Every structure is written in C-alpha cells, then in structure tokens.
Amino acid sequence: MTRENKDKVESCACNIIREEVVTQAKEYMPQEEILVDLAEFFKIFGDSTRIKIVSALFTSEMCVCDIAALLEMNQSAISHQLRILKQARLVKYRREGKVVYYSLDDEHVQQIIECGLAHIKHK
Amino acid sequence: MTRENKDKVESCACNIIREEVVTQAKEYMPQEEILVDLAEFFKIFGDSTRIKIVSALFTSEMCVCDIAALLEMNQSAISHQLRILKQARLVKYRREGKVVYYSLDDEHVQQIIECGLAHIKHK
DNA sequence: ACAACATATGAGCAACTGTTCATATAATGT
DNA sequence: ACATTATATGAACAGTTGCTCATATGTTGT
C-alpha cells in the first residue's frame, strides 16, 4: 500500500492512482471559470433550432418572420432563440420600421461550425 | 398587399417578407439531418464537467479515479459522463487490470476547444 | 386615435439532463 | 472461494430547456 487514505480527495471514494498525472493536469488545464464559460458557449450551438438559425444567417441577414417560415416554426419560438443568440453575441440586429433583421456577429462562428462539420462528416 | 395568405407557411403567423432570401437560404443550408447531428455534437461540449474531462485528457490519459479526484467529483458522475464522451467517440479507453485509462479519440477535439477559447477570450 | 402587423416576452408545461445513491460487474490478490 | 478495489449502471430526483399560448411592445399608415 503506497498511499494513505488522508491523501485522497474527499468527494471521491477512490484512491488517486497516479498523483503526478493529476497534479500536472491541474497545472495545465485552463482555469475553472474559463472552462465553465466555454461549456456555456458550446451549449448555444447544442440546439438544432439555433444551429439552423445560425446556418441560415450565413446566406444573408433575415427577419424573424422569414426565419420562422424557413424553419417551419412559429415566430415566438424563433424570437426566443434569437434572444439567446443575441445575448451570446452571436447575432446582431438592425431595425427597419416594423421589421427586425438579424445577422451574424462573430467571426469565429463560421469557423466553429465548419470545425464541427468536419467531425460529423469524418466519423 | 403583395402576397396572398396561401403562400405563407402554416406554422408561422407572419407573412414571408423576402421570399428570395428564404428560398436561397433553404438551398444553401446543409440538410436538416446534418444540422441535427451537428447540434448533437456540440451538445457534448455544452457541459462543464465534460469540457473539464476533455481538457484534462489533453495532458495525459487518465483513469476514472484520477479524473474524479482532479475535478473533485464522485466516481459515478465521472463514469456517466465518460460514457457519453465514449458514445460520441471523443474518448477511447484501454483496460489495465482493474484500472481503465481514458484518452482522447479525435483529432478535431483540440481544434474545436481552441476555437471556442478564441471566442471566449475575444469578447 | 386606432387598426394592422412584426416582434418580444412572461407563464406554464412536457421533455431532457446531470448528479447522487445503491448496487452490479470485473479484475486482482490471498 | 472470498475480500478488495476500480469501474459501470439503473433508478430517482431536482434543475434546466425549448416550445406554445396569450399578451405586450413598437412601428406604420389612415
């Protein structure tokens, strides 16, 4: 028995098997907050409605009604999702009278989508 | 009034404002199934525990216990998440006696994480 | 001021998700 | 065979999510 129980982390019932690997990983990992933000960011893309909206906006800016028609969903659902995309700063909007046009607001979005597509098509 | 009601899509109460934009987007968008798969793929990264696991595995392969200790979570939670990552083919494992070592199983993972990090740090 | 229309938003609900707990499975050493 | 240890897994539960419905807000034309 090479390790005492006092060394194990409270919330895990197991003993650490290779401590140097754990401490090394702890050192090199981005800090907690960044990883939480990162998950929060990917969560935005983790819904097919939002992916479709973003995907549609690659072609052109569009108003809420047009997106709703395109995706065959009701206006309210689209509006709710656009709010989430707006809060995440992935889309921006401009008002023209009664109509609100949405468009992409991030140079990384296309890159990330394509990155994801590369994975999908590969496996 | 330029458009008849019969042209509007059933599930949207609004009229289509710019039909050519809608049909063009419909044409250029990846097909439904691919976008659904893509959302499914990003959903995997949309959880901080899974992001942390993946991030930890960048440094080295690790066993379940070590990951649990590193993240200060219990073994069961990690095991459940590893199953999801395994099913998504993002991690692979090898058994060595009682211990199961997990490691990354996709060349795109690092690229996607870094893509996300670029966005996080920029805004 | 009012009707018409595009969009936004709160409440409610059904479905989904992530964790915990208890327990099962698998491998090892005695 | 049995105890020990590492991992996996099913059930249960709380929290979250995405949609719908009803309604509010904002803009335009009359």
pLDDT in tens, A69-114: 999 999 999 999 999 999 999 999 999 999 999 999 978 898 889 8
pTM confidence score:
0.89
**Contact yes or no for A92/A102 (Cβ under 8 A):** yes
Q: How many residues does chain A have?
A: 123
A37, A57, A33: which is closest to A109 by C-alpha? A57
Q: Which residue has the tokens 């070590």?
A: B66
Q: Does A74 sit within 8 Å of B18, measured CB to CB?
A: no
Three-state DSSP class for B103?
Answer: strand
**What's the CA–C1' distance between A79 and C21, in Å?**
41
**Residues of chain A positioned with their CB less than 8 A from the CB of B46:** 39-40, 42-46
Q: Which amino acid is at B112?
A: I
Average pLDDT across chain A, whole number: 87
Residue B36 C-beta-side C-alpha neighbours within 13 Å: 4
Q: Which residues pair with A43 in a beta bridge?
A: none
CB-based contact, A58 to chain B, within 8 Å: yes
Q: Does A13 sit within 8 Å of B72, measured CB to CB?
A: no
Strand order in the sheet with B62-63: B62-63, B99-104, B91-96
**Residues of chain A positioned with their CB less than 8 A from the CB of B62:** 18, 21-22, 25
A75, A82, A63, A51: which is closest to B31 by C-alpha? A51
Q: Which residue has the tokens 């710019």?
A: B18
**Chain C bases having any atom below 7 Å from a protein CB:** 4-11, 17-23, 26-28
**Residues of chain A positioned with their CB less than 8 A from the CB of B63:** 17-18
- How high is the pLDDT of residue B3? 31
